[in-house]
């Protein structure tokens, strides 16, 4: 209880009092009207390329029609749906963790759904912005573990 209380206090303080460096940098980019160019010419292309690479590697490595990749619409995550998986994605999380891969089970992103909702229990959220080497390694682990449960 004490650890939870202290962690909650720390989280509240850091959320209410963010550091000044980030806002200062963004303010300067806005003042000079450089933020849009930075987003259009550097940030968006980087994430778009990494997303396309991850999708391509997933399709090649998993190579199963039961893998569904929700339409990527930005951010740094892909939503993957494993149709007909014989275990929940909470169990899949445990299996992947043993292999050194961390993903986020989808059930945490379906608030208000009935417990055990089939779709919520068969999706994961996967980050794709780590190094290309780590991304490739993670996708290979995912593909290998999925084969055991499909």
pLDDT digits (tens, 9 = 90+) for 54-75: 999 999 999 999 999 998 887 8
Alpha helix locations (H) across 1-150?
2-16, 21-31, 35-38, 44-62, 89-98, 132-149
pLDDT band for 116, please (50, 70, 90 cuts). low
pTM above 0.85, yes or no: no
| Cβ–Cβ < 8 Å for 106, 89 | yes
Distances, alpha carbon 15 to alpha carbons 7, 109, 141, in Å: 12, 21, 35
Chain CA centroid to CA 82, Å = 15
Q: pLDDT for 81-100, tens place per residue?
A: 999 999 999 999 999 999 99
């Amino acid at each position: 209880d004490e650890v939870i209380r202290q962690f909650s206090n720390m989280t509240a303080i850091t959320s209410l009092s963010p550091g000044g460096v980030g806002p200062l940098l963004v303010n300067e980019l806005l003042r000079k009207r450089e933020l849009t160019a930075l987003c259009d010419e550097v940030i968006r292309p980087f994430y778009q390329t990494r997303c396309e690479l991850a999708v391509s590697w997933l399709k090649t490595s998993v190579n199963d029609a039961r893998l569904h990749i929700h339409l990527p619409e930005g951010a740094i995550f892909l939503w993957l749906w494993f149709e007909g998986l014989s275990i929940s994605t909470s169990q899949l999380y445990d299996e992947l963790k043993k292999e050194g891969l961390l993903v986020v089970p989808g059930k945490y992103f379906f608030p208000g759904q009935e417990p055990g909702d089939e779709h919520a229990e068969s999706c994961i959220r996967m980050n794709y912005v780590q190094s290309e080497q780590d991304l490739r390694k993670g996708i290979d682990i995912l593909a290998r573990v999925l084969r055991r449960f499909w």
